[in-house]
Amino acid sequence: MNPGMNNADLIVQTLSRAGIQHGFGIPSGNVLPLIEAMRTGGVEFVLTAHEGSAAFAADVTGRMTGRPGLCIATLGPGATNLSTGVGSAFLDRSPMLAITCNLNTDQLGRRIQMYIDHHALFRPITKASLALRHGNVAKTLAEALAIVLAEPQGPVHLDLPEDVALAPAEGEVPDIPEGTRLDPASDVAITEAQRILSEAERPVAVLGASAMRLADFGALRHFIERNNLPFATTTMAKGLIDEDHALSLGCIERGRRQVQRRFLQGSDLIVGLGYDTIESEYEAWVGSVPVLNIDIERADVDASVRVVHEVSGDLAASLDRLNALPAATNAWPADAAGEHRRAHQESLRPPSEAFCPHQAIDAVRRVLPADGVLAFDVGAHTHQISGQWTAPGPRRFVITNGWSSMGFGLPAAIAAKLARPDLKVACILGDGCFQMTCGELATAKRMGLALPVVVLDDSLLGLIVIKQEKRQFGVYGTDLGGRPDVPPAHYFGVPAKAARTTDELEAALREAFEAAGPTVIHAIIDPAHYFETVFD
């Protein structure tokens, strides 16, 4: 170890050894020793406009790379801002290290400017909230990484007082843990699952968010194909098997959910594959169809759901062992899934004279290369995008659906582009989400990211207006204000333009992908069809 090294250097070397390349955040005086160690230690610090964005970006870095995402904030308000994105990683189960810096050890707990009990703040939204203190730094880092990477993954918070950061390194860079998997399910549970599947005549699989963390998606696909199982997915699981697949039914509980529910409720067995209830409870859509739940944990259901069997344990191990048993056959007519998928897709695109959301979303899909990444945000547009977008493969469709926080989309797109500079990345967000996070355009510009940011501009908190109208409340508190006829020429030096037709949007997107930095494209849309396609 370098004799001049301090604990901040030790932390950065450990993070680097764990495969972490970026850390997102906002510094303050107490954070500076860590920032300085990042500057000299090869983990790039990415300044964001808000700590919430920093944590969303870290969440997505974790998902895209499989290594922990890193975010950093100062004490008090820095920590509370950060907590929104940390909660996202907790519910969506992304690997993350969230570091708050703090006063000197002898000042902790006192009524001093910016004080808040960080551990009380982070404990409910992390797997652990740990204190880096004199003498425990290397050990605590190793412990944190082990917890983050153990299935189910998630965030760990670390608190770093300034004097601890500055003290001479107290320990060696620890070995990086591999990440532990869960115990495999029993043989009896596996055999019984395949028996139940082979007795079903019209089984349907529903892939969920736990499956996102499989190291090899081939076994998932093999299970679907060998058993000839029509499959749907939750929002976050879109693309784990490409959605052009002949057995693909599309996304559940999003745009035109009733069309999907009718099909699912016409099956005689729902096979949940890595189905994490955080996205949508079984009872919302399963009706009286029995459930075979194959996941890392037992299904969380209410009394109405008939769970006939559970396979609980490491998902990869379950799939491998199921795939070694004789395959099941069923009575689905050939192309039942394809026919349904086409009908569902058509129902999401009602005819419209005006430039409407489904046309704008299709335009982005056409211009973004097949293997490009879409990151987007939370609103009516989420339902429409999740319904109609064809996700071509894993880690190409980036959204939060557990935490479902507005403000996710733009930092998610930035993180995706930093993690995969070889791929084209596009961002779509509602105008409400844009108002919440547009400061991150400056982040994308500073990082030189060619990133089209398409704002679906309906001048409304569209999703909430739909809910107001469906409940016959007045439309109140949800109007974002009149749109200017012409958007401003730029935001923080990031060029902006308007698109009022599909052709204008496609042309603007093509140009944006070739630019040296981000471009804002306001797609001026008429949201009328949301009333039909979203929350039908």
Ligand X SMILES: Cc1ncc(C[n+]2csc(CCOP(=O)(O)OP(=O)(O)O)c2C)c(N)n1
Contact residues toward ligand X (CB under 6 A) are 378-381, 404-407, 430-433, 456, 458, 460-464
CB of 441 to ligand X, least distance (A): 15
Selected binder of Mg ion within 54, 164, 458, 529 (CB under 5 A): 458
Q: CA-to-CA distance for 470 and 48, rounded, in angstroms?
A: 38
462 interacts with Mg ion by CB under 5 A: yes
Q: Does 377 bind Mg ion (CB under 5 A)?
A: no
User: Which of the 8 DSSP states describes residue 333?
Assistant: P
Q: What angle do CA 251, 459, 509 make, to 5 degrees?
A: 65
**Residue 460 DSSP symbol:** B
- CB-nearer residue toward ligand X: 221 or 467: 467
- In angstroms, give the least distance from the CB of 251 to ligand X: 16
Q: Which is nearer to ligand X, 149 or 461 (CB)?
A: 461
CB of 431 to Mg ion, least distance (A): 4
Question: Interface with Mg ion by CB under 5 A: which range of 45-53, 320-328, 404-412, 453-461?
Answer: 453-461
Report, in Å, the least distance between residue 259 CB and ligand X. Answer: 20
**What is the spatial distance between Cα 376 and Cα 365, in angstroms, rounded to a whole number?**
13
Q: Which of 124, 409, 404, 363 is nearest to 280 (CA)?
A: 404
Min dist. Cβ of residue 431 to ligand X (A): 4
- Backbone φ and ψ for 296, nearest 5 degrees, come out as -80, -15
Candidates 92, 310, 377, 431: give the one binding Mg ion (CB under 5 A): 431
Angle CA(400)–CA(28)–CA(2) in degrees, nearest 5?
A: 95
Instruction: Compare residues 427 and 463 and give the one whose CB is closer to ligand X.
Output: 463
CA 281 to each of CA 235, 284, 304, 315, 399: distance values in angstroms, whole numbers, following the listed order = 13, 6, 11, 20, 18
Phi, psi of 459 (to 5 degrees): 70, 15
Closest distance of CB 465 from Mg ion, Å: 8
In the complex, minimum distance from the CB of residue 430 to Mg ion, in angstroms, rounded to a whole number: 4
For residue 378, the partner it binds in Mg ion, ligand X, none, with Cβ less than 5 to 8 A by kind, is: ligand X
Q: Given the complex with Mg ion, which of 159 and 431 has the nearer CB atom?
A: 431
Residue whose Cβ sits closest to ligand X: 430
Instruction: Give the Cα separation of 397 and 209 in Å (integer).
Output: 12
DSSP state of 303: T
Q: How far is the CB of 399 from Mg ion (least distance, A)?
A: 16
Return d(Cα 201, Cα 221) in angstroms, integer.
20
Stretch that binds Mg ion, among 160-168, 202-210, 459-467, 517-525 (CB under 5 A): 459-467
Query: What distance in Å separates the CA atoms of residue 431 and residue 439, rounded to the nearest whole number?
Result: 13
Task: State in angstroms the smallest separation of the CB of 465 from ligand X.
Answer: 8
DSSP collapsed to 3 states, 221-261: HHHHHHCCCCEEECCCCCCCCCCCCCCEEEECCCCCHHHHH
Which two structure tokens, joined as six digits, stand for 379?
């609103």
Nearer of residues 89 and 456 to Mg ion, judged by Cβ = 456
Q: Can you give the length of the chain in residues?
A: 536
Q: Return the residues of window 411-430 that contact Mg ion according to CB under 5 A.
A: 430
Q: Report the residue number, 294 or 380, with the smaller CB distance to Mg ion.
A: 380
Concatenating the DSSP letter of every residue in 105-151 gives: GGGTTSS-TT---HHHHHGGGSSEEEE--TT-HHHHHHHHHHHHHSS
* Residue 464 site contact among Mg ion, ligand X, none (CB < 5 to 8 Å, cut-off depends on kind): ligand X
Looking at 97-105, 135-143, 331-339, 450-458, which segment touches Mg ion (CB under 5 A)?
A: 450-458
Q: Which range, of 25-33, 354-362, 462-470, 494-502, touches Mg ion by CB under 5 A?
A: 462-470
Residue 432 or 452 with smaller CB distance to ligand X: 432
Question: What residue ranges bind Mg ion (CB under 5 A)?
Answer: 430-432, 458, 460, 462
